[in-house]
């Protein structure tokens, strides 16, 4: 059973920089996993921030960026704002009978 | 723009059935696979099922295999989730999602009571 791992929780100071990571139990995360990053605030549906490693939508704040780092997918937040406090989920795509696998989520605190 | 609107959620007793619908617009529905994803209260996201663009292949999470059925009607731009033999642990917000691009709906809540 494939497992996607994320840090359970991270804390960043306002204006600071933090990197969230997303690893796969099958080996290095590559472009073939088409990594997604979602942000979810309490009571809201998840909202896509980054797809295909580093592509962003018009609503994605410029302070968020995606990359591959050390065999994992990474989401870097540079210049954290209080409104960035949320849960962040990564999603990796796989071939076969279980095409999507979510990470367990990272609870990001801005403090 | 891409829009996905789920409906059909509600409260049902354990062992009961529900059928969820997801109406899609803003993209060529018949060209894309579709997923259902769920989130139990206070928990993380769980992939549930996926259907190919033409309905020819379907995949299910082990937790729902044999109880849930995904289907689609490309003439109506709609994907469905038939949920049978519902269990308390199926209680969750259910989201439909477009394969590729990360677009999701706002979800529909399914509550299974004992």
Considering only CB atoms, which chain A residues are within 8 Å of B103? 48
Mean pLDDT of all residues in B54-61: 96
Report d(CA B107, CA A104) in Å as an integer.
Answer: 19
pLDDT at residue number B12 = 98
Interface test with A, best of B102, B104, B105 (most A CBs within 10 A): B102
Confidence label for A97 from pLDDT (cuts 50, 70 and 90): confident
Strand order across the B45-51 sheet = B10-13, B108-113, B92-98, B34-39, B45-51, B58-60
Q: Is the pLDDT of residue B102 over 90?
A: no
Report d(CA A68, CA A2) in Å as an integer.
Answer: 19
pLDDT at residue number A94 = 94
pLDDT tens string B69-101? 999 999 999 999 999 999 999 999 999 999 988
Burial A3-12 (b: 16+ CB within 10 A, else e): ebebbeebeb
pLDDT tens string A45-55? 999 999 999 99
pLDDT at residue number A10 = 98
Distance, C-alpha B24 to centroid of its chain: 12
Q: Is the pLDDT of residue A95 over 90?
A: no
Question: Hey, is the C-beta of B44 within 8 angstroms of any chain A C-beta?
Answer: yes
Burial A86-111 (b: 16+ CB within 10 A, else e): bbbbbbbbbeeebbbbbbbbbebebe
């Amino acid at each position: 059973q494939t497992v996607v791992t994320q840090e359970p929780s991270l804390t960043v100071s306002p204006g600071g920089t933090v990197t969230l990571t997303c690893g796969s139990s099958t080996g290095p995360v590559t472009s073939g996993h088409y990594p997604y990053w979602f942000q979810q605030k309490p009571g809201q549906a998840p909202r896509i921030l980054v797809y295909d490693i580093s592509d962003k939508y018009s609503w994605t704040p410029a302070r968020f960026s995606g990359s591959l780092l050390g065999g994992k997918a990474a989401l870097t937040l540079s210049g954290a704002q209080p409104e960035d406090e949320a849960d962040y989920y990564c999603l990796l795509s796989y071939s076969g009978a279980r095409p999507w696998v979510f990470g367990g989520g990272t609870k990001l605190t801005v403090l | 723009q891409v829009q996905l609107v789920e409906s059909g959620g509600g409260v049902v007793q354990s062992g009961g059935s529900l059928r969820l619908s997801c109406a899609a617009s803003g993209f060529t529905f018949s060209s894309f696979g579709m997923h259902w994803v769920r989130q139990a209260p206070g928990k993380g996201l769980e992939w549930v099922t996926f259907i190919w663009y033409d309905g020819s292949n379907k995949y299910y999470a082990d937790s729902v295999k044999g109880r849930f059925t995904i289907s689609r009607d490309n003439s109506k731009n709609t994907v469905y989730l038939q949920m049978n033999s519902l269990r308390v642990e199926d209680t969750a917000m259910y989201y439909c999602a477009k394969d590729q691009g990360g677009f999701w709906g706002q979800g529909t809540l399914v509550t299974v009571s004992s």
